[in-house]
Structures are given as structure tokens and as C-alpha cells.
Amino acid sequence: MRSHWRWPSLLLAVVFMLGSTTLVGAQQPGRPASGPNTVVLFTQQEPSCFQPVADACQLYVSTVISTLIFADAVGLTEQWKYFPVIAQKIPNLKDGDWKLLPGNKMQVTWKLKKGFTWHDGKPVTAQDWIWAWRVNLHPDYPSAGRDVAERVENILAPDPYTLVVQWKKKYAFANISVASSGVIPKHATEKLFRANPGKFDQAWAVDAPTVGNGPYVLKEWQKGSSITVEYYPKWPGADFMPVNPTVKRITYRFISDTNTIIANILSGAADANDETAIPFIQGLELEQRLAREGRRDYLLTAEPGLVWEHIDMNLDNVHLGIKNVRQALLAAINREELVQQLFQGKQPVSHTFLPTKHYGYNPNAKKYPFDPAQARRLLAEAGYTPGPDGILQRGGQRLSLTFVTTAGNRTRESVQQILQAQWKAVGVEVRIQNQPARTYFGDALPNRRFELAMYAWVFSPASDCEGLYTGDTIPGPGGTGEGQNYPGYKNDEVTRICHAVPEELDEAKRVQLLRRAQDIWNEDLPVLPLYVRSDYTGHKTTLQNWKPTGSNTPPTWNATAWRWAR
């Protein structure tokens, strides 16, 4: 008798034990997935490390989690206002802690707050910033972000809480970071770095514990699954980043498939998701679904940011070298309808190279509303006449262009098809020849082997046009210099302005310069501006103070201010 029941009893025991491990917190809509002191965030990628030296860890998600573990001198709010975190104040020209020196040089003095400590208890001092800057500039260190760091001549530390940054030449954004290299604990990393500078990024990720100085401490990293951080009780607090948060623990879960993330959101297992979790189109569908089902427990927000979707035109092309053709191509497409149809207007039309949120955006730059008649007129003025197949031609050459973008990107492919049809309506033939990302970004663009190329630039609040539209930065065969001026645009005034902007310290003058550059650029139109991309972040409506920035500052910037509604 007993032997008959042994296996069923065992089975029942296993079932019971499995049942007892059901996630705590019931995962009911609106309620925290894992208890009132915890927030469970979902994202697609897993970080490789959290080294805040010039974004050495490469993935955006590293920045998202680094923001919890590391604090810097200055932070950025959702209103794009800089605020002091470890710095006592933000230096400025008026107060004299930002000084202009002879020979176009300058000096910026940072006073640091006392009381900030690394998670191993050692104080955060000026030497830690100097160390990060030296690491970033070491010839063997594989940094991809030295542009600003190289403008710094030297950094001095007259005392442990003062930094004097000496700049080789004027730089407009010298007061938003110490030397754009981050801050790392010198005492915990120096030995590792000196052992092998070329592999420091790898060594710190694998061989040493992550010692941060931010409001949260890395508690547990289950590779391939999740990262959990816990509140650092010695966090002294800063504006927007208070002490003693109600959210003591944040868990980041990595799920690579969007549908699975959506299932987690629908099942209540996700308290929030960052920008990388759900691509725009699926975010839009999920938003509609939640509205349709009357679910108000999870709020998705599409925030237009700094990612600018556009089409580069190769100005060496016999047709695209003609300004009328370029202007006609823009006038022939209905971008307003496109963003309405595809994105319900949540990714706004762009009219120039700077996103609307950028401080230098020019709202009065020339616009090209949808006007097919005007497009035809411009083409006729340039000498184009309809050929036997309806496609325009000039001097025996048909106005036929190839159009390339990243193969497999559904959104871009949909945009391509709409534009192709609209251009055909004015007599321009466009042939779609998409390429895999590696070929496209690795070969076609840098070597300027394209006619029309659609992709996006990711700007920062401090970005400008240097390198992109300066006449001396045209890459590829027959180019004028290394850079990313893929259209091959040359305009002396724009080149001069774009080189001058980073060195103009007066923001009002900088705005003037950028607006002037946009006036010229919009008239010349080397690129077809399409729209500004938005990213969907989401959170349970009961999670308060969730404030995505729409910039490269992640939504975790104010995590200590998050709280669950009672």
C-alpha cells in the first residue's frame, strides 16, 4: 500500500513546494510587484559593467544602472536643468569660479561637498575625478569619448575638496562636468589599472567589486537575469535626490524579447520599464491596448528626445547636388501625415538638424510644408522634364535614386514605402536597396556609398554641428578630412559657425550662432529632416515621482525620490 502512494505523494510535495515559491506581492495590477520597498524595472539588455569612465561599458543600460550606483559633480533634471550633486555649486563666469585666461585658455574651480563616501567607506575626494580623467586619456585605455577630456590641459587639487580644471582653449560646457570623464575610486582601482591599462575596463568588470559613490549599492547580480541595488545608508543626499527613500531596493530584470516584457507588464510583474524595453511601435500598440481595456494601473509615456531621424543626401550625386532637387524632395513628402499615420503624432516632425528640445533650436528656420505643386515647380525650374515613363529627366539622365536604410527595421521600412510613393507622384523614382546594419554603418556611410540614406543621430543637450556639417570633415574617398559629414556638405559660413559654437561661452550668442547655421542649412538643405524619435518609458501609476528626461540622462536619476502611493 505504502509503495503505491510513494510517487504520487512525492509529486504532490513538489507541486506544493513549487506553489509556495509563487512571487511574493501577488503581482496584482497597480500594486508593487515585489513589496512596498522595492521597484522592479524591466529592460532589454544586460550591462557588461558599470564603469563610469567615458561610457566605457558601451550599453545605455550600463548608464541607467550606473546612475543609481555612481554620483557625479552635477546632475540633470527632467526639465534639462543642471543641478549640483557632489559639487557645492555650478561654476559660472559671474561668480568668478569660471575664469577666462590669456591665450584663449580658461580655468574652472569646483568646490566639492564633504560627506560623500565610496561604498567601502572611503571619502570621495578631488583625486577621484583627476584619476578618472587620467584613465580616460591613457593611450592604452579603450575610450571612445575623449573629445572633451582632451580639451583639458591639467587638473589640480589644492585640497581634497577643490578641483581646478585648466582648459587648453575655451569650451562652452565646462561647467556641466569636471572633465567629461566621470569619477571612479582611485584607491580601489589604481592597482588594477596600472597592471594593464588596456584591459582595465575588462578587469574592473570581472576581477574587482563595483565600488560606487551613489545612493544605491550593488547588492546582487544574477547574470543573465537581474541586478539588485540597495539604498546606501550613508548617502548624504542632494537636490532632487533625497536621503532615506521609501524605495530601498531596486531590481533591474533583463528580458531580451519585447513581447515577453509586455507580458510582464500586463501580468503586473513589472513596476516600470526604461526606454530600451519597448520599441516605439510596440509601445504605441501597448498604450492603445491598455486604453482599450480601461487599464489605468500602468502608464506609458512617449517622450520626444534627442534622437533625430533624417535622410542624408549625397551631394556628389548628379541630381542631389542641385539645391532645387533637394528642396523639391522635401516639399514632395507629407511628413505631418506620415507621423500621424505611423506614430499617431507622438514622434514630432523635425524641420532642422537640431531637435526641438535643444537649446539652440531655431523655430523660425525655413520650413518645407507638403506641397507637391511646389516640388514640381522647383524641379521644372531646374530643367527636369517628364520622360516617356513619367519619371523626370534632365540631359538624358532619369531622376532615379537609390534609398538605403537598415534592413529589418520595420519602422524605417514603412517610412521608406510611404516616401517612395509620394516621390513617385512628383516624377522621382526611388529604388529601395536596404543593407544590414554592419554593411550600412560600417561601409556605405563612412565611404559615402549611397544616394539617399536614412538613419538617426543621437544628440546630447550639449551637441552642435561641429563634425557633422563642417566642410573640413567630409569622410571617405575624395573627402576633406575625417568626420561624419556624410552628405559632403560645404558652406564656409556654416563651417565657421560650427567650429565657433563649442568655444562660445555666452549661451545667448551660441543660440544666435546655431540659429544662423540652421537658417543657412535649411536653405541649402543637404539633409531631409524627418522626425524626432520618442522613447516609451512606463510605470505603475502608483509609483510616484517617475520623471523620464527625454535626454541621455536615464529615468533612474531621481530614484531616491520615488515612492509608492499608499
Partner 1 sequence: MSRYLARRLLQMIPLVVGLSIVIFLLLAAAPGDPVDLLIFGNPNVKAEDISRLKRLYGLDQPLYVRYFKWLRAALHGDLGYSRIYKQPALSLMWWRIGNSLWLQIPAFVLALSVALPVGIYSAIRQYSPVDYAATLFVFFGVSIPAFWFGIMMIYLFAVWHPWTALPFLEWLKLPAGGFSTPGVPEGLARLLDRLRYMLLPTVVLSLLFMASFTRYTRSSMLEVVRQDYVRTARAKGLSETVVINKHALRNALIPLATVVALSIPALFAGAPLTETVFGWPGVGRLLVEATLGGDYAVAQGIIIFLSTLVIVFNLLADISYALLDPRIRYD
Among 181, 301, 463, 549, binds partner 1 (CB under 8 A): 463
**Partners of 229 in the beta sheet?**
218, 250
Measured from the CB atom, the residue of 18 and 508 that comes closer to partner 1 is 18
Contact segment (CB under 8 A) with partner 1 among 41-49, 74-82, 86-94, 525-533 equals 41-49
Measured from the CB atom, the residue of 107 and 264 that comes closer to partner 1 is 264
Contact 118, 211 (CB under 8 A): yes
Which amino acid belongs to residue 527? Answer: V
Is residue 29 part of the contact set for partner 1 (CB under 8 A)?
no
State the Cα–Cα distance between residues 548 and 67, nearest whole angstrom: 13
Q: Give the nearest distance from C-beta 97 to partner 1 in angstroms.
A: 26
Measured from the CB atom, the residue of 27 and 324 that comes closer to partner 1 is 27
Q: Residues 6 or more apart from 327 whose CB is under 8 A from it? A: 368, 378, 525
Q: Give the footprint of partner 1 on residues 369-428 (CB under 8 A).
A: none
Q: Give the nearest distance from C-beta 16 to partner 1 in angstroms.
A: 8
Q: What mask of x and - would describe binding to partner 1 in positions 482 to 511, judged by CB under 8 A?
A: xxx---------------------------
Q: Give the nearest distance from C-beta 473 to partner 1 in angstroms.
A: 8
Among 39, 49, 339, 498, binds partner 1 (CB under 8 A): 49
Contact segment (CB under 8 A) with partner 1 among 96-104, 291-299, 390-398, 439-447 equals 439-447
**Partners of 302 in the beta sheet?**
536
Contact 236, 116 (CB under 8 A): yes
Is residue 173 part of the contact set for partner 1 (CB under 8 A)?
no
Which amino acid belongs to residue 255? Answer: I
Of 213, 194, 189, 209, the closest CA to residue 122 belongs to 213
Of 64, 537, 455, the closest CA to residue 278 belongs to 537
SS3 (DSSP) at 482:
coil
Contact segment (CB under 8 A) with partner 1 among 88-96, 168-176, 309-317, 436-444 equals 436-444
State the Cα–Cα distance between residues 393 and 383, nearest whole angstrom: 8
Q: What is the DSSP letter of 253?
A: E
Contact segment (CB under 8 A) with partner 1 among 181-189, 274-282, 459-467, 487-495 equals 459-467
Q: Give the nearest distance from C-beta 294 to partner 1 in angstroms.
A: 16
Q: How many CA atoms lie within 13 A of 136 on its CB side?
A: 29
46 to 36, 51, 62, 241, 437: CA distances (angstroms): 25, 14, 8, 25, 21
Helix (H), strand (E), coil (C) string for 300-341: EEEEEEEEEEEEEECCCCCCCCCHHHHHHHHHCCCHHHHHHH
Q: Give the nearest distance from C-beta 119 to partner 1 in angstroms.
A: 19
Q: What mask of x and - would describe binding to partner 1 in positions 212 to 231, judged by CB under 8 A?
A: --------x-xxxxx-x---
Contact 216, 232 (CB under 8 A): yes
Q: Following DSSP, what letter does each residue of 400-428 receive, concatenated? A: EEEEE-BTT-HHHHHHHHHHHHHHHHTT-
State the Cα–Cα distance between residues 471 and 496, nearest whole angstrom: 9
Q: Give the nearest distance from C-beta 502 to partner 1 in angstroms.
A: 10
Q: Give the footprint of partner 1 on residues 518-537 (CB under 8 A).
A: none
Contact 353, 527 (CB under 8 A): yes
Among 34, 181, 416, 518, binds partner 1 (CB under 8 A): 34
Q: Give the nearest distance from C-beta 263 to partner 1 in angstroms.
A: 4
State the Cα–Cα distance between residues 258 and 270, nearest whole angstrom: 13
Measured from the CB atom, the residue of 266 and 391 that comes closer to partner 1 is 266
SS3 (DSSP) at 534:
strand
Instruction: Give the count of residues interacting with partner 1 (CB under 8 A).
Output: 75
Is residue 25 part of the contact set for partner 1 (CB under 8 A)?
no
Q: Give the footprint of partner 1 on residues 233-272 (CB under 8 A).
A: 251, 253-257, 259-261, 263-264, 266-267, 269
Q: What is the DSSP letter of 400?
A: E
Q: Give the footprint of partner 1 on residues 117-156 (CB under 8 A).
A: 139-140, 142-147
Beta carbons within 10 angstroms of residue 391's beta carbon = 15
Q: Give the nearest distance from C-beta 150 to partner 1 in angstroms.
A: 9
Measured from the CB atom, the residue of 327 and 463 that comes closer to partner 1 is 463
SS3 (DSSP) at 500:
helix
Q: Give the footprint of partner 1 on residues 2-21 (CB under 8 A).
A: 15, 17-21
Q: Give the nearest distance from C-beta 374 to partner 1 in angstroms.
A: 31
Is residue 206 part of the contact set for partner 1 (CB under 8 A)?
yes
Cell numbers given for 188: 580601489
Q: Give the nearest distance from C-beta 315 to partner 1 in angstroms.
A: 18
Q: What is the largest CA-CA distance in the chain?
A: 99
Among 159, 381, 389, 443, binds partner 1 (CB under 8 A): 443
Q: What mask of x and - would describe binding to partner 1 in positions 292 to 311, judged by CB under 8 A?
A: --------------------
Q: Give the footprint of partner 1 on residues 51-110 (CB under 8 A).
A: 57-59
State the Cα–Cα distance between residues 258 and 506, nearest whole angstrom: 44
Q: Give the nearest distance from C-beta 349 to partner 1 in angstroms.
A: 21
Q: Give the nearest distance from C-beta 210 to partner 1 in angstroms.
A: 12
Rg value, the chain, Cα: 27
